[in-house]
A and B are shown apart, each in its own frame.
Chain A
């Protein structure tokens, strides 16, 4: 009993001490940094987001992006390519825009990292990846990648 009381007093004294310490040593408020821009996949904001929404897209957290932007992305996709059915990944308009509206870069910790290398798809992004051609192919190439041949590559190469 006595020991217990003693322990309690000790704890009480300890917490008092801590409180005192905290009060005296409270650091100045930490600097806060407020979000201005964000991106993951290339050209998404540029291509899919309307002028009025561009700043909002840059400050919407990724877990909220799908709900906020998927429908708008679909409208934009069908404006760019009215004949869109599916793409080379077998995605319909809802599936493609659902993927793109949540703007994160999927990165594999086991596979080679590439936007697309003929085998691996969306496992990262390397400096020389032709990300624009991949995106053009998915937007305009149709189910076999052969639709709209003048629109599926910009024929620009790494410089």
Chain B
């Protein structure tokens, strides 16, 4: 009985700590997605080595220790979707969807979705490329089909931030940052999805707005 209570207390403390302390960029940002396959930690969009292309990166399942990374997996029920607005109204005109199936990351689009908003379906005919998920510790496996390159697998989290000191400042325990700072994310991994797409696939606008969504299979 006592043991059980102790365990419960320990769990409660652990929840309190992860819920309250370890979050940043978008790592474990909200109660519903913390420690889930649907937790997006960061989004990057930059032009490729080939400057005619844009590279989209969605990192998920953050703060993986090296010991935990080998067992971390993409989820067949989690759809990662890049939303692209190309007429400045912050509504998606195009989506790029990525979802894992039998060890392969499958990419659909960019294509115009049947509906905008918080519920998505996958249009099978919009399939463009797929790649084997790269196992932990191995060289990146990259595939290219129909002009679209794709990678999926564990990577060192590129995000860097002295989160510990930030929280001390916010909590009134410190007046400023240290020099040098301590990067909270050094030595941790994420599960990364990278898709490189020719700019010409996004229409003629000179800018686009992008955001990433994680969506879970329902029904």
Contacts and interface: CB of A to CB of B under 8 A. Distances in A.
A33 B120 contact: yes
Given A61-B117, A109-B54, A38 B40 contact: yes
18 contacts: A33-B79, A33-B119, A36-B32, A39-B42, A40-B43, A40-B209, A45-B26, A45-B29, A46-B23, A104-B210, A108-B206, A130-B160, A154-B162, A155-B181, A156-B162, A156-B183, A159-B156, A159-B185
Interface of B: 23-26, 29-33, 36, 38-40, 42-47, 54, 57, 79, 81, 83, 85, 89-91, 116-122, 156, 158-162, 165-166, 169-170, 175-183, 185-187, 199, 202, 205-219
Contacts of A30: 121-122
Nearest to B27: A46
A31 B177 contact: no
A110 B208 CA distance: 11
Interface string A128-158: 1011100000000000000001110111111
Interface in A10-60: 29-40, 42-46, 51, 54-55, 57-59
Q: Which of B54, B156, B187 has its CB near the most chain A CB atoms (within 10 A)?
A: B54
B211 A62 contact: yes
Contact of B90 (A32, A62, A108, A130): A62
CB-based closest 7 A-B pairs: A150-B176, A33-B215, A54-B30, A35-B118, A155-B181, A40-B211, A104-B209
Contact of B217 (A31, A103, A131): A31
A96 to B, nearest CB: 17
Contacts of A54: 29-31
B209 A106 contact: yes
Interface residues of A, number: 59
B91 A36 contact: no
Nearest to B124: A30
Contact of B119 (A32, A114, A157): A32
Interface of A: 29-40, 42-46, 51, 54-55, 57-59, 61-63, 65, 80, 102-110, 112-114, 123-128, 130-132, 149-151, 153-159
A125 B59 CA distance: 13
Contacts of B160: 130, 132, 156-159
Nearest to A104: B209
